[in-house]
Amino acid sequence: MKTKWMSLLVLGVVALTSDATAKTVLKFGTVAPDNTPWAEELKGIEKRVSAESGGEIQIKTYLGGQLGGEIEILQGIRRGRIQGGGITSAALASAVPEMDLLEIPFIFESNDEADFILDNYLFEPFRKLFEQKGLILVTWAENGWRDIATKGKAVKTPGDLKGLKLRSQESKTHLAFWKRIGANPVPIAVPEILPSLQTGLVEGFDNTPLFTLAAELHTAVKHYSVTRHIYQPAAIVFSKVTWDKLSEKDRKILIGPGNAQAANARKAVRALGQQLLQVLKESGVQVLELTEKDRAPFKQAVTGIDQELVPQIGGEAAKIHALIVEGKKAFAAKKKP
């Protein structure tokens, strides 16, 4: 009876286990669907860790929100019930509020600028902030540029969003963006987006082409407007509760190349590019690719939103925002001949 009780405890509550062969099994959660670059990147980490540890450390990845929505997964990681995860910056902001700054609409102007600032100006400051909140930052990852999909009319201007019930990430910045634009945001976790679209709880959402297709969200909308209004990074993190129990050798194996892994993760997502928009078109979704002139009113509508959000976010938001501004200047100077 005692043995049975202990087995249930291990299976249902304790995620970090050691079996008779002394293998350490780490549960890793993400809402990233299978058969995507994100899934392949995580499977690559699984293989590397197993090989470098001689099979003594095994990572078991739960894809597609099997362990819940991002907020739920993140809470599990901080408490040590889940050992690691791949989480978007908007969800991470529920634990590290300063992450909301990364998703201020139009704060980044290009992939190259975002990469430069994240890697050279923000990784170390956020690594420290993460650790204070029970998280070990391993590397940046990427969701990409978010666009707007709707069930009704296509979105070409901010006015087209007025009053629409749109799914919002559970993030202060995302909610502020939708309200500024005039939409009616409804915070919903990832696993509930598709049923919410199907039942009419929401009339649209924003996300990247890759996630839209991978999560089959395109099956519930008619229009997809390429607004590229928010660049969304993500991060691979481990639980500090777990981390503190590991040897220095095991920690080095889990960290691996560290943030050097970001380059491959970004490349894999970005390589799909226009192919994904073509897939959306072929699936029957009307794709509207906005020009820079079309995007200008969206930028104008959110002018100064960063000045509103910095004091609301608090903590070290002012310091992080200053680093972003500094990084943008340095990147601009770097580009000059």
Proportion of the chain above pLDDT 70, given as a percent: 93
Q: What is the mean pLDDT of residues 303-323?
A: 96
Residues 35, 4 contacting (CB under 8 angstroms) = no
pLDDT score recorded for residue 337: 73
Q: Using one digit for the tens of pLDDT, what is the confidence trace for 88-142?
A: 999 999 999 999 999 999 999 999 999 999 999 999 999 999 999 999 999 999 9
How distant is the alpha carbon of residue 139 from its chain centre?
12
CATH among 2.40.10.10, 3.40.190.170, 3.40.50.720, 3.40.50.970 for 8-335: 3.40.190.170
> Which of the pair, 103 or 336, is modelled with greater confidence?
103
Q: How far apart are CA 127 and CA 274, in angstroms?
A: 33
pLDDT score recorded for residue 147: 98
Q: What is the mean pLDDT of residues 321-336?
A: 94
pLDDT score recorded for residue 57: 95
pLDDT score recorded for residue 13: 39
Asked if the model's pLDDT at residue 258 lies above 50, the reply is yes
Task: Give the CA-trace dihedral at 132, 60, 37, 139, to 10 degrees.
Answer: 20
Strands 24-30 and 57-62: parallel
pLDDT score recorded for residue 15: 42
Asked if the model's pLDDT at residue 3 lies above 70, the reply is no
Q: How far apart are CA 144 and CA 279, in angstroms?
A: 17
Q: What is the mean pLDDT of residues 142-170?
A: 95
Q: Using one digit for the tens of pLDDT, what is the confidence trace for 4-41?
A: 434 433 444 344 444 445 489 999 999 999 999 999 99
Residues 97, 88 contacting (CB under 8 angstroms) = no
pTM (predicted TM-score) = 0.90
pLDDT score recorded for residue 231: 96
pLDDT score recorded for residue 23: 84
pLDDT score recorded for residue 40: 93
pLDDT score recorded for residue 64: 93
Q: What is the mean pLDDT of residues 50-70?
A: 95
Q: Using one digit for the tens of pLDDT, what is the confidence trace for 161-219?
A: 999 999 999 889 999 999 999 999 999 999 999 999 999 999 999 999 999 999 999 99
- Residue 132, C-beta contacts closer than 8 angstroms, at least 6 positions apart: none
| CA–CA–CA angle 31, 33, 36 (5° rounding) | 130
Return the HEC string of the chain: CHHHHHHHHHHHCCCCEECCCCCEEEEEEECCCCCCHHHHHHHHHHHHHHHHCCCCEEEEEECCCCCCCHHHHHHHHHHCCCCEEEEEHHHHCCCCHHHHHHHCCCCCCCHHHHHHHHHHHHHHHHHHHHHHCCEEEEEEEEEEEEEEEECCCCCCCHHHHCCCEEEECCCHHHHHHHHHHCCEEEECCHHHHHHHHHHCCCCEEEECHHHHHHCCHHHHCCEEEEEEEEEEEEEEEEEHHHHCCCCHHHHHHHHCCHHHHHHHHHHHHHCCHHHHHHHHHHCCCEEEECCHHHHHHHHHHCCCHHHHHHHHHCCCHHHHHHHHHHHHHHHHHHHCC
Q: How far apart are CA 32 and CA 143, in angstroms?
A: 9
| Rg, C-alpha atoms of the chain | 20
pLDDT band (50, 70, 90) for residue 336: confident
Residue 137: what residue type? L
Tokens 């540890």 identify what position?
53
pLDDT score recorded for residue 255: 97
Domain boundaries, the chain: 8-335
